[in-house]
Chains A and B, each alone.
Chain A
Amino acid sequence: MKLVQHADEAKAALVTMWTIRRFEEAVDELFARGLMHGTMHLSIGQEASATGACLAMQEDDLITSTHRGHGHCIAKGADLERMMAELLAKETGYCRGRGGSMHIADVSKGNLGANGIVAGGIPIAVGAALAQTMKRTNRVVLSFFGDGAANEGAFHEAVNLAAVWNLPVVFLCENNRYGMSMSTERAFKIEHISERAAGYGIPGVTIDGNDVQAVYDESALAIERARSGGGPTLIEAETYRWKGHSKSDKNLYRTKQEIDDWKSRDPIVRFEASLEDAATLSAQEIEQARAIARDAVRDAIRNATAAPDARPEELADAVYA
């Protein structure tokens, strides 16, 4: 599917990208104003990979996500108010205040969870794919992870298991060039992380992760391959996080010039330009998409703020099922 030829899908994708952007800008601000505690990892600048990959999935397909997972959750259909409530430590949050930013999941929407451990979700995705195979469903699992995760043992073990068992799973590496402060140049001897696919006997491809169409195209191919019994694929989506790793980051390890260069490749600006150039959406429709996202985030903040706080007297609830 070429998004420029499908106005409804294009608009939906644009709304998703703007919703991720506005949601994260809002939590960044809430944090700066002291209204949100803890820490968080923002994916501003990476909206195309979450949006393009989830757009290529069926609704009942599954994902695992990362510590930088707000975008994945939103793209997979999470309820913004419950997300915001979780970040605001509310009883109505996805995790009843027990998980926070790094642990939001929505199993009913196929989201098996963000994860505070780098590479922690990759073996879980493989097990979820094994379950689909054993239950003879037609569902595919897509695992989001970052460049840093590709140097964890869990990545190696999990990709190998998926490969030898030919499981319906897609490994989508969002290479945002830094594992905290460690650059990919210093952390890898190879040029492209996707080269590692050859070591497991599966296809690997590197794409422009700031091009939502490119992410959609390669994800759709890989998902179709997985669904039809062709086994796993490793996709490396090259992208960049504009913000620091977490709230403690002073950006000592990269230059303002580099950040500005990547901001000029803003995936949302690029997508809007392509839609305008192709006359897929009018300027007014694009403005509408922005407004939908802005209003949704505004409503989520308002409703979540008014919700009851998580209750200390129930803190031991849910240790055991």
Chain B
Amino acid sequence: MSAKTLATAPTDDDTGRSVSRSLTYAEAVREALAQAMTDDERVFLFGEDVGVYGGAFGVSAGLFDQFGPERVRDTPISELGIVGAAVGAALCDMRPVVEIQFSDFTAQAMDQIVNQAAKIHYMLGGAANVPLVLRAPGGSGTGAAGQHSQSLEAWFVHVPGLKVVMPATPADAKGLLLAAIDDPNPVIVLEHKLLYKVSGPVPEQAVRIPLGKAAVRRRGDDITIVATGVMVQRALEAAEELAADGIEATVIDPRTLKPLDTDTILDAVKETGRVLLVQEAPITGGFMAEISATIAGCDALNYLLAPIKRLCGLDVPIPYAPQLEKAAVPQVADIVSAGRILARES
């Protein structure tokens, strides 16, 4: 069985261009912001501590010096006000990029995200657009406990009018953010705080990665693993261990949860007949339930050699103690073990 890992390949999956330069995920986001602000004076970044401080995770470090206080704008701690102001600015043809320090804090801003940004274009019969981007880091693994560690993508996916992006690599962090800024709709970009320091090849040019196109990170004939966010990297590591056992996995990273590239997922499921769905978020009502229903609701069901398997976060708030926190969400060993079982099931 042959296998190829694309995540660390020297060519950019989306352009085929040679990429020799490596950036961290945080640097890639920063470069996208800088290029977008350079190319379009309507683009501006605002949020809590994005200025001199450089953002809670250092993503905007240096942008304040480059673009000044008006376009890299510190705000009071007012998530609802910030997102609402972004909606108003977007309605007036600006291109605001809001940083919410932790995705958990979007709960403070939900009215403006769900009732305003998502609905305005439709409720006005298409007469106005809300081209805003909301970036927020999600995910566990930092010992910050229940209010700073959630994976809330399912909330946003459930709201018509929003697009939802979860970049898993530095190249995607840049390319998807640039596409999100170009998009005339409100786009929620859920970064992952454990990925900020991960390095990978990133093209120097402002290359857009289209929203709604999944990435096949690895190809194998035996099982398909669909994973989002930080789980993509864990799935790839697990796939290497599985390969040592003679089980070859295809690993698919949807990248954009809405709109979702179902074709790429269904094609892979049909080829392998076995599918493992991996997410960090709690299992109940999670995004992988949607993918599961999509697979089960079409002819891909006829290709299944084993039941669809989900490996997700437990239905618990993310706990503080490191041993509890690790046990609450899938780890590499969990994916390996689920993959082994899936490969033998019939």
Q: CA–CA, A94 to B83, complex, Å?
A: 25
For chain B, residues 42 to 96, give those with C-beta under 8 angstroms from any C-beta of chain A.
Answer: 44, 70-71, 75-76, 78, 80-94, 96
A140 / chain B contacts, CB cutoff of 8 Å:
none
Interface string of B116-149 (1 = CB under 8 A from A): 1000111111111101000000000000000000
1/0 contact trace for A120-151 toward B, CB 8 Å? 10111111111110110000010000000000
Q: Are B87 and A124 in contact, CB atoms less than 8 angstroms apart? A: yes
Chain B positions within 8 Å of A115 at CB level: 116
Encode contact with B along A286-321: 1 for CB under 8 Å, 0 otherwise: 000000000000000000000000000000011111
**Set of chain B residues within 8 Å of A128, measured between Cβ atoms:** 88-89, 91-92
Would A94 and B124 be within 8 Å (CB), given that A120-B115, A157-B78, A320-B161 are in contact?
A: yes
Instruction: Say how far A70's CB is from chain B's closest CB, in angstroms.
Output: 16
Given A127-B92, A135-B94, does the pair A158, B84 have CB atoms closer than 8 Å? Answer: yes
User: Is residue B160 within 8 Å, beta carbon to beta carbon, of the partner chain?
Assistant: yes
Q: Chain A residues near B91: list those with CB within 8 A.
A: 107, 112, 124, 127-128, 131
Q: Give residues 60-104 of A contacting B (CB, 8 Å).
A: 62, 64, 93-99, 103
Contact yes or no, A157 B81, CB < 8 A: yes
Give bound CA distance, A161 to B44, whole Å.
16
Contacts of B122 in A (CB 8 A): 98, 318-319
A38 at the interface (CB under 8 A from B): no
**Smallest Cβ distance from A40 to chain B, in angstroms?**
15
- Is A123's CB under 8 angstroms from B125's CB? no
Minimum distance in angstroms from A258 CB to a CB of chain B: 32
Q: B16-32 toward A: CB 8 Å interface, digit per residue (1/0)?
A: 00000000000000000
Q: Which of A97, A120, A130, A318 contacts B85 (CB 8 A)?
A: A130
Contact of B185 with A127 in the complex, beta carbons under 8 Å: no
Q: List the A residue with the shortest CB-CB distance to B129.
A: A321
Q: Is the CB of A95 within 8 A of B124?
A: yes
Residue with the highest number of chain B CB atoms closer than 10 Å, among A120, A126, A157:
A157
Tell whether A154 pairs with B123 under 8 Å between CB atoms, given A113-B128, A124-B88, A128-B92. no
A153 within 8 A of B: yes
Q: How far is the CB of B242 from chain A (nearest CB, A)?
A: 38
In whole angstroms, how far apart are the Cα atoms of A132 and B85 in the complex?
12
- Known contacts: A94-B127, A117-B115. The answer to whether A321 contacts B85 by CB under 8 A is no
- In the bound complex, residues from chain A placing their C-beta under 8 Å from that of B92 are 62, 112, 127-128, 131-132, 135
Q: Which residue of A lies closest to B132 (CB)?
A: A127
CB distance from A313 to the nearest CB of B (A): 15
Residues of B near A126 (CB, < 8 A) are: 81, 84-85, 88
Residues of A within 8 A of B127 (CB): 94-95, 105-107
Does A187 sit within 8 A of B, measured CB to CB?
no
User: With the chains together, A62 CA to B128 CA distance in Å?
Assistant: 14
Interface size on A, residues (CB 8 A): 45
Asked whether, in the complex, the Cβ of B124 is within 8 Å of the Cβ of A105, the reply is: yes
Cα(A116)–Cα(B111), bound, Å: 11
Q: How many residues of B contact A (CB 8 A)?
A: 42
Q: Assess whether A154 is in contact with B84, with CB atoms less than 8 Å apart.
A: yes
Query: Which of A62, A107, A164 counts the most B-chain CB atoms under 10 A from its CB?
Result: A107
Q: Is A160 an interface residue (CB 8 A)?
A: yes
**B256 at interface, CB cutoff 8 A:** no
Check B89–A130 contact: CB distance below 8 A. yes
| Contact status B76-A161, CB under 8 Å | yes
With A and B bound together, what is the CA distance between A262 and B236 in angstroms?
A: 71
Complex CA gap A117/B87 in Å reads 14
B184 in the interface, Cβ–Cβ < 8 Å?
yes
Q: Tell me whether B112 is interfacial, beta carbon within 8 Å.
A: yes
Across the interface, A160 reaches (CB within 8 A) one of B44, B71, B76, B129, namely B76
Interface pair A95/B84, CB less than 8 Å apart:
no
Contact assessment for A154 and B125 in the assembled complex, using a CB-CB cutoff below 8 Å: no
- Provide the bound-state CA to CA distance between A158 and B81, in Å: 5
CB-defined A-B contacts under 8 Å, sample of 30: A62-B92, A94-B125, A96-B125, A98-B125, A107-B127, A113-B120, A113-B128, A115-B116, A120-B115, A120-B116, A124-B84, A124-B91, A125-B88, A126-B85, A129-B88, A130-B88, A131-B91, A135-B92, A135-B94, A154-B81, A157-B76, A157-B82, A157-B84, A160-B78, A161-B78, A319-B161, A320-B121, A320-B185, A321-B121, A321-B131
A contacts, CB < 8 Å to B? 62, 64, 93-99, 103, 105-107, 112-113, 115-117, 120, 122-132, 134-135, 141, 153-154, 157-158, 160-161, 164, 317-321
Top 7 nearest A-B pairs by Cβ distance? A123-B84, A127-B88, A157-B81, A127-B85, A96-B125, A131-B92, A318-B126
- Not counting A130-B88, A161-B75, a sample of 16 additional A-B residue pairs whose C-beta atoms are within 8 angstroms of each other reads A94-B124, A94-B127, A95-B123, A95-B125, A97-B125, A103-B124, A106-B127, A113-B128, A120-B84, A123-B85, A124-B87, A124-B88, A126-B88, A130-B94, A134-B70, A157-B78
